[in-house]
Structure 1
Amino acid sequence: MNAIKNTDIYALSSWCLWSLSLSFCVSCGSYFILDNSQTMFALTLRSFHHTRNSALPLQRLFSKKSLPTLTLFTKDPCPLCDEAKEVLEPYKHRYIFQQIDITLPENKVWYDKYKYDIPVFHLNGQFLMKHRVNTFLLEKQLAKQQHW
């Protein structure tokens, strides 16, 4: 007899609150998650352990279309950063945008690395470009992410 345990979990991100229903199958050790649209996702115990501690992987897991994360390393003032954000405007529907202020104490590592190079951009945690937006490179990498 398969025993299923149900519970509700919530994942809070900066742009939304996900209400999820979590079921655990005792016999096979799998987690089954239902999102708001009742779409079921199966996760192994190991993969659930990694996703439960962060809202972003949960948000990506349950988004209809998984979008890459574009991170801008910036500070205030930064005229080149302002210019870069304007150039990025037409692409904003194709990525999740995140800004990291390198002058904040918790971002000292990024400050030490990029203090002379902002704006710096990462796509899904990997360096993409710095100083100015290269729209050709951005377009190429976003297209590659879509086919992944």
Structure 2
Amino acid sequence: MFLLKTFPLCEPAVLQLLRQFSTNTLPTLTLFTKDPCPLCDEAKEVLEPLKHRFVLQQVDISLPENKVWWDRYKWDIPVFHLNGQFVMKHRVDVVLMDKLLQDAETHQT
């Protein structure tokens, strides 16, 4: 039996709860990044209005287990893949991202 505690929820907590139950239907947006990465931080801010439409997965390319991604993207981060397919690098194109998310949403049904 699933039991929810009753307490005031702020919007981020509600979004987290909704994401937890809907991650199997949302597309996965993978951000290839490292720390520090000011352009990556900027890209995440630009994506903020769209964040309810995807699950963000971050891959730190500086970790030893991600050497293949380091070799591929070390000069290009941030790099984004949507559902495993390369979609953009360096800066977020919001119009393109919106179209790609619409396409992903259409093909889910």
Confirm or deny a common fold (TM above 0.5). Answer: yes
What SS is found at the alignment partner of 2:56?
Answer: strand
Unaligned runs of 5+ in 1: 1-35, 37-61
What SS is found at the alignment partner of 2:39?
Answer: helix
Shift in CA distance, 66/103, structure 1 to aligned 2, threshold 3 Å: same
2:39 to 56, 68, 80: 80
1:89 to 48, 51, 55: 48
Structure with bigger RCO (C-alpha 8 Å, 6+ apart) = 2
Question: TM-score, structure 1 length as denominator?
Answer: 0.57
Deviation at 1:117, TM superposition (A): 0.2
Match of 1:66, as an amino acid? T
Map of 1:94-133 to 2, 5 A cutoff?
Answer: 94-133=53-92
Inter-partner Cα distance in structure 2 for 1:143 and 1:65: 16
Inter-partner Cα distance in structure 2 for 1:136 and 1:92: 14
What SS is found at the alignment partner of 1:71?
Answer: strand
Inter-partner Cα distance in structure 2 for 1:141 and 1:65: 18
Question: TM-score, structure 2 length as denominator?
Answer: 0.77
Deviating beyond 6 angstroms after TM superposition, the runs of 4 or more aligned structure 1 residues are none
What SS is found at the alignment partner of 2:101?
Answer: helix
Give the root-mean-square deviation of aligned CA atoms.
1.6
Is the Cα contact below 8 Å between 2:30 and 2:80 reproduced in 1?
yes
What SS is found at the alignment partner of 1:141?
Answer: helix
Map of 1:1-148 to 2, 5 A cutoff?
Answer: 63=22, 66-148=25-107
Aligned residues: 88
* Structure with bigger gyration radius: 1
Unaligned runs of 5+ in 2: 3-20
Match of 1:76, as an amino acid? D
Shift in CA distance, 76/146, structure 1 to aligned 2, threshold 3 Å: same
Deviation at 1:91, TM superposition (A): 0.4
Deviation at 1:115, TM superposition (A): 0.2
Give the percent of matched residue pairs that are identical in Structure 1 and Structure 2.
70
